[in-house]
């Protein structure tokens, strides 16, 4: 029987990875503490540190305030060893951010789109990224890769985008390849709401929660599902396309902004109300908060429509939490009514909360995904 031997190069690589992870988790950290946490000898730690220092992945650090040093040397990972680019393409904005290997955002820029057109976005990307790099003051630091959020379902090939209604020229296109060629980077493409869900789990309202749904209600409607701690994309990459939840129903239950405006127009007809065209969501919620009866009725109906979309998600997945986001869904005025309806309709209603990340949710998810890849890639490049 053939056996697998732990060769010296393999052991060296495993030790360096173990030491690097201990430093990332515990910095600033001494050699003795690295050895204790990693469960390897101090001489082995010293050899790994020597290699990691020479490779620019680790550097000397000042100990935390009040920490007794006893003459020990302290270390931390170098956050500027590589950068991660996050991109969020929507119907009205293109958002972009760079983070370092600590996950700290070093620069962010939002561009309002005069026209949501894939070709125009593609042409604008090099200047946008150059501006981010200059703003971060990190022109000499390599960008490991980019993660792009798009308003559509991403095919199983991880590149082709489908079911896009609000960005011209994007549907059916291998847009990740186009972006990668334009920027000279590897690009991973995700549905934007899926990334928002991962953003909420990374640093938002769902931090540390393994089973939850993120539902975005804005110019469109969509959901991201995290089950057993992993993003659930579905067989065709179209999990969470809540627009299809109303298929076969005659009743109008669309809660997105255009449908909300149409609802408001009907509700306001012939009645005394502060509402007026174009019936934008922020005006409806402001009027409801001020006591306008018509606006309050509209908000209650909007809450019912959102609850009707939560029900099938909760019934099928039994998630413990639903996070609401988007320009419409993130309104606190909706919460009590949604919670009340779900309690009446479901035996195990999920907890419902508002996104804590707002319009940064997609970017946060993109950077979180890219950061995981970059941490691995930087070490692999060092070890090779």
- pLDDT for residue 1: 47
> Does residue 2 lie in a domain region?
no
If asked whether residues 240 and 289 sit together in one domain, one would say yes
- Residue 37 sits in a domain of what CATH number? 1.10.10.10
Structural domain ending residue among the three candidates 48, 77, 106 = 77
Question: Which is higher by pLDDT, 41 or 9?
Answer: 41
- pLDDT for residue 6: 55
Which residue intervals of 84-233 are DSSP H helices? 118-136, 175-183, 192-203
If asked whether residues 156 and 176 sit together in one domain, one would say yes
Is the pLDDT score of 2 beyond 70? Answer: no
If asked whether residues 216 and 323 sit together in one domain, one would say yes
If asked whether residues 118 and 231 sit together in one domain, one would say no
Helix (H) or strand (E) holding 366: helix 361-383
Structure tokens at 59: 């550097």
Cβ(259)–Cβ(220) under 8 Å?
A: no
Separation of first and last alpha carbons in the chain = 29
Among 33-42, 65-74, 296-305, 370-379, the minimum mean pLDDT is found in 65-74
What separation in angstroms does the CA of 264 have from each of 252, 269, 283, 289?
13, 8, 11, 15
| CB burial readout 97-106, b (16+ within 10 A) else e | bbbbbebebb
Q: What is the pLDDT of residues 148-201, one digit of tens each?
A: 999 999 988 888 899 887 899 999 999 999 999 999 999 999 999 999 999 999
> Does residue 1 lie in a domain region?
no
If asked whether residues 339 and 228 sit together in one domain, one would say yes
Is the pLDDT score of 48 beyond 90? Answer: yes
Q: Which domain holds residue 185?
A: 82-198+361-383
- pLDDT for residue 236: 86
If asked whether residues 133 and 191 sit together in one domain, one would say yes
Other beta carbons less than 10 A from residue 24's beta carbon: 17
SS3 state of residue 160: strand
If asked whether residues 186 and 232 sit together in one domain, one would say no
- Residue 212 sits in a domain of what CATH number? 3.30.420.40
Q: Which residue has the tokens 């110019």?
A: 219
Overall average pLDDT of the 285-290 stretch: 97
Average pLDDT, the chain: 93
Q: Provide, rounded to the nearest whole percent, the portion of the chain with pLDDT above 70.
A: 98
If asked whether residues 377 and 322 sit together in one domain, one would say no
Structural domain ending residue among the three candidates 52, 77, 102 = 77
């Amino acid at each position: 029987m053939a056996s697998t031997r732990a060769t010296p190069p393999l052991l060296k690589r495993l030790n360096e990875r173990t030491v690097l992870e201990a430093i990332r988790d515990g910095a600033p950290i001494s050699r003795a503490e690295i050895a204790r946490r990693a469960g390897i000898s101090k001489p082995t730690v010293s050899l790994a540190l020597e290699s990691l220092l020479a490779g620019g992945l680790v550097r000397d650090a000042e100990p935390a305030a009040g920490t007794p040093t006893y003459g020990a040397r302290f270390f931390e990972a170098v956050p500027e060893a590589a950068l991660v680019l996050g991109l969020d393409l929507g119907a009205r904005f293109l958002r972009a951010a760079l983070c370092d290997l600590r996950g700290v955002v070093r620069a962010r820029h939002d561009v309002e789109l005069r026209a949501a057109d894939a070709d125009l976005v593609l042409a604008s990307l090099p200047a946008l990224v150059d501006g981010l790099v200059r703003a971060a003051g990190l022109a000499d630091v390599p960008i490991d890769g980019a993660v792009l959020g798009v308003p559509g379902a991403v095919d199983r090939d991880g590149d082709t985008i489908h079911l896009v209604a609000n960005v011209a020229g994007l549907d059916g296109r291998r847009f990740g390849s186009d972006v990668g060629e334009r920027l000279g980077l590897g690009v991973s493409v995700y549905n934007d709401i899926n990334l928002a869900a991962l953003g909420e789990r990374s640093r938002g309202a769902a931090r540390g929660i393994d089973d939850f749904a993120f539902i975005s209600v804005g110019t469109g409607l969509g959901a991201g599902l995290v089950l057993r701690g992993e993003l659930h994309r579905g067989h065709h990459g179209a999990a969470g396309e809540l627009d299809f939840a109303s298929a076969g129903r005659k009743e109008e239950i669309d809660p997105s902004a255009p449908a909300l405006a149409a609802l408001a127009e009907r509700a306001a007809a012939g009645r005394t109300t502060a509402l007026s065209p174009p019936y934008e969501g922020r005006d409806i919620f402001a009027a409801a908060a001020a006591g306008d009866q018509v606006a309050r009725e509209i908000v209650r109906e909007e809450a019912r429509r959102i609850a009707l979309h939560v029900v099938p998600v909760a019934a099928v997945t039994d998630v413990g939490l639903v996070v609401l986001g988007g320009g419409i869904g993130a309104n606190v005025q909706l919460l009590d009514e949604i919670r009340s309806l779900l309690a009446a309709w479901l035996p195990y209603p999920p907890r419902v909360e508002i996104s804590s990340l707002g319009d940064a949710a997609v970017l946060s998810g993109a950077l979180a995904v890219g950061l995981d890849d970059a941490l691995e890639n930087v070490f692999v490049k060092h070890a090779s």
